[in-house]
Structure 1
Amino acid sequence: MKLSLSRGSRDSLSEQIFQQITSRIHSNMLTSGEKLPSVRQLSADTGVSLLTVHKAYKRLEAAGVVQSIHGKGVFVKAVLNESPAMSSYDWQLSIPTYLTRSSFHSRPKTKYRFDYSALNSGLLPTIYLADQLKQMLEAESSILGTYGDVQGDFLTREAFSAYFQNELGLSGSPDNIIMTTGLHQGIELIAKTLLGPGDVIITEAPTYPGALDIFINRGAKVIPIAMDEEGIRTDLLAQVARAYHPKAIYVNPTFQNPTGRSMSMERRQELLYQAQLHGMFIIEDDSWSELYFDEKPPPKPIKSLDDEGRVLFLKGFSKALAPGIRVGAILAEGSFKQSLLSAKSSSDLGTPLLTQRAVLPFLTSTRMLEHFEKLRLALELRRDKTVAVLANSFDSSISWSVPEGGLNIWLTFPENVSTLDLYEYCLQHDVSFLPGHACYPYEPPYNHLRLTYSILNEHDLEEGLKTFVALTNAFLKQKI
């Protein structure tokens, strides 16, 4: 039996086996009475463990689509109450597709969303931005009929350059800035330029699921390296770099997605040294370094230490200003910048001019800093409420670190608890979160989850947290 399994998928290998065999049974590609391969045979054919196949077969049996006959094997059962006619689209089931973590974004939306790492619209300056856009279009309607430059609008690049210098301690000139349609596109452009089949890239473990999708779909080999409280473990990085000769390392060093941790300045310096020693690029994802709590700014970006174009710095303001205006930037020097421009040209011929100009009123005034100051206070209150509810609801078997900024809290459960099963249970009660296994490239642990406290309004956050902990405690009792 030919199955298409992806170790980079958000779904476990046993879940993929279950889904694909179930689909073939319901579409009559596997017929009633047909014998499935033995556990040992399917394990050998797919390259997964015997336990993984056994777990999938048990699920198929529990779902009532197969029957296990002792000493004879596993057989397809007759599927009742199904339409006898095959759908005209069922032929698509025979063609393998690439299963990705991004499919979580297409899952049903719930009332209590803790899965989406974004800001509640009430925290965003949408009214001001709408007024500015209206004024801009009244004064210069020709913007709608003008293509944006491939590298990006010069005025916007100039504003980004000033912001980088004044707020982040970076000295990048407008000529070294490439505007992107959000930070995510920046990761994609770098991967498109740098990575091909078989190339090696290192990530933190866990890491941002969207980046994993991009790297894996480029055919790259992703090697995850564990983190501690100071960030990625550079002692392990040195060993991996010597053995695998990676082309790059992707890090989110400030209020990391998903853990909320920040890399210490000493670790940032060591990381740059390792990159220089082993000839690697560093892809630095700075999604929300402005969103710090307790009046404690994080360390400066790794890019601020770089004087040889080793660090490819990514900055985005979509989440903090307006998701409807997807504007980001790459700061890169040297010949690699030209390669990125070629990749940008082949991707979209340039970020829309309208969205770039939309952020200018913020970048060129004090409004940006005032907005961030208010946003930090609002998010800090949400973090404190979330931590308080968790602390009053769970015993010491469930742990988390209190983030010093950003949007997320990372929870760790006992190893025998599957947060994927908990996720499916919570979905039935209108609650969602991000199961932690989506943040690892291969053979992930299943006892973590990411909880986002920024997307709900204050009332729904409080109600949602109460619902989440009640569901979690009920789920855990079922497992005892």
Structure 2
Amino acid sequence: MSRPAPKSPLSGRLGRIDSSPVRDLLALIDRPEVISFAGGLPCPELFDVDALRGAFDDVLSSAQARRALQYSSTEGDPALRDLLARRLTTRGLRTSGDELLVTTGSQQAISLVATALVEPGDVVLVEEPTYLAALQCFRLAGARIVPVRSDEDGLDPDALREIAERERPTLLYLVPTFANPTGRTLTGPRRHAVAELAASHGFWILEDDPYGELRYRGEALPPLSSYPGAENTSIYLGSLSKIGAPGLRLGWLRAPAQLLRALTIAKQATDLHTSTIDQSAAARYLTATDLDARIRTLTDAYRPRRDAMIEGLAGIAPQGTTWTDPDGGMFIWVRLPDGVDTTQLLRRALTHDVAFVPGAPFYPAEPDPSTLRLSFSTYRPEDITEGMRRLGRALSEALAPAPA
């Protein structure tokens, strides 16, 4: 006897969400001959493998080994939370361990916040352009995503004020330091203005800060969440993915007590807790390692890679091209002259064994098809130089006049 098929294979929410073009692109270009500027990937040669191996060995050789392999509390390893809290405090955001929730990467933290705060139809504001996986999370929650204009100094507070008065948003999501995808940093005066606007208009700030410690020049700015007005309106997200190793999948969020409890319940319903052994090893690693020295190793390696990409762009970019010159992070945002479609350009670039991410997916509304994102963190300067030459050849072909 035949059985009826399920009414629908997908929920309406999931059916409206596209796969990440970056993840799809990484799968497509997994060939050793391709120089890929597509993924925002830390350089694997710089992973602190020996020290991380030692941390896992120490945990598994200790009297606490069986505890580290057992179920644990949702909030996270107390020793790890205390270490992270002390580090946040030294960076200007006074924090205690009980204000933190350890998450399975900061990506999970975005999802938890969307679950706890966003009802279908609620307005979520984002800087334009913005991190595309955050857009996925908010779309899955049924949010109405409204872009806010940004420029070389980050989110424009005047535009934010006008939109906040009109839209009555629930949440503002932004990456204020070395933003993904643009590499821009929100200035100090603008941080003050954004914090004050959140307090006066009653919306939450979701500050995503995975890149903030990867600074190559200039003075560090304290987190946006530390500015007056943000005390009771901000949620701060951090991660070990860019300064440690992304395979650990360790992130954290800091939130006011009442919201933190709701976020903890949301995490209980999601995965119960983040890997106990990974948290224990991370705590051991952070205790035994001079993390500031490790970060200096990373910035000393990434700085010349950024410089090589900027120099390469200057040599290949057609007239009218603009690009960001970031003080840190992993990304350079490029805008080619009007009429160049970077999705079409990517197809041509792949024939030259070089890749990037077209800019369109980073826009929540009307995209700018002439934009693209380049990541400089994965390759050595000489490989970046060669990759830019390949991209230059693709550009020359794309811009060549059509034969008569």
Calculate the TM-score normalised by the size of structure 2: 0.91
Structure 2 residue 133 is the aligned partner of structure 1 residue 215: no
1:386 equivalent to 2:309? Answer yes
Stretch of structure 1 that moved more, 450-459 or 338-347: 450-459
Residue 104 of structure 1 is matched in structure 2 by: 22
1:34-183 mapped onto 2 (5 Å cutoff)? 97-107=15-25, 108-110=28-30, 111-139=34-62, 140-166=64-90, 168-183=91-106
C-alpha contact 1:120 1:457 (8 A) present in aligned 2: no
Amino acid at match of 1:97: G
Question: 1:335 maps to which residue?
Answer: 258
Distance apart, 1:392 and its partner CA: 1.7
Q: Which residue of 2 aligns with 1:312?
A: 235
Alignment check: 8 A CA contact 2:116 2:262 kept: yes
Q: What is residue 441 of structure 1 aligned with on the other side? A: 364
**Paired residue for 2:299, among 369, 376, 384?**
376
When residues 465 and 362 of structure 1 are mapped into structure 2, their CA distance, relative to the original with a 3 A threshold, is: farther
Maintained 8 Å contact 1:433/1:451: yes
CA distance in 1, matches of 2:292, 2:262: 33
Check whether the contact 1:256–1:262 (CA below 8 A) recurs between aligned residues: yes
How far apart are the structure 2 equivalents of 1:312 and 1:92? 35
- In structure 2, do the counterparts of structure 1 residues 228 and 479 end up closer, same or farther at CA, with 3 Å as the change threshold? farther
Counterpart of 1:109 in structure 2: which amino acid?
I
Q: Which runs of 4+ in 1 moved over 4 A?
A: none
Equivalent-residue separation in structure 2 for 1:240 and 1:101 (angstroms): 29
Aligned partners of 2:351, 2:315: CA distance in 1, in Å?
Answer: 24
Shift of 1:434: 1.1
Give, in whole Å, the separation in 1 of the partners of 2:113 and 2:18.
19
Alpha-carbon distance in 2 for matches of 1:232, 1:256? 10
**Does structure 2 conserve the Cα–Cα contact (< 8 Å) formed by 1:101 and 1:438?**
no
Q: 1:370 to 1:198 in 2, by over 3 A?
A: same
**Cα displacement string for residues 255-301 of structure 1 (whole angstroms, at most 9, x for unaligned residues):** 0111111011100000011111110000001111111113x233111
Q: Using the TM superposition, name which of 138-147 and 236-245 deviates more.
A: 138-147
The structural deviation recorded for 1:469 is 1.8
> Where in structure 2 are there 5+ consecutive unaligned residues?
1-7
How far the C-alpha of 1:254 sits from its partner, in A, is 0.3
Report the residue type matching 2:364 in the other structure: P
What is the CA–CA distance in structure 1 between the aligned matches of 2:304 and 2:396, rounded to whole Å?
25
Instruction: Tell me if structure 2 keeps the 8 A contact 1:101–1:210.
Output: no
Structure index of larger Rg: 1
Specify the SS of the correspondent of 1:324. helix
CA change 1:447–1:262 in 2 (3 A) is same
Q: Does 1:299 align with 2:217?
A: no
Identify which range, 466-475 or 310-319, moves more after superposition: 466-475
Sort the Cα spacing of 1:379 and 1:100 in 2 relative to 1 into closer, same or farther, 3 A: same
Shift of 1:478: 5.2
Q: Does the 8 A contact of 2:349 with 2:390 survive in 1?
A: no
User: Residue type of the partner of 1:236?
Assistant: A
Q: 1:355-399: CA deviations, max 9, x gaps?
A: 112222443355210010111111111011111111122243211
The structure-2 alpha-carbon separation of the partners of 1:459 and 1:311, relative to structure 1 and needing over 3 Å to count, comes to same
1:423 CA drift (Å): 1.4
- Structure 1 gap segments, 5+ residues each: 1-90
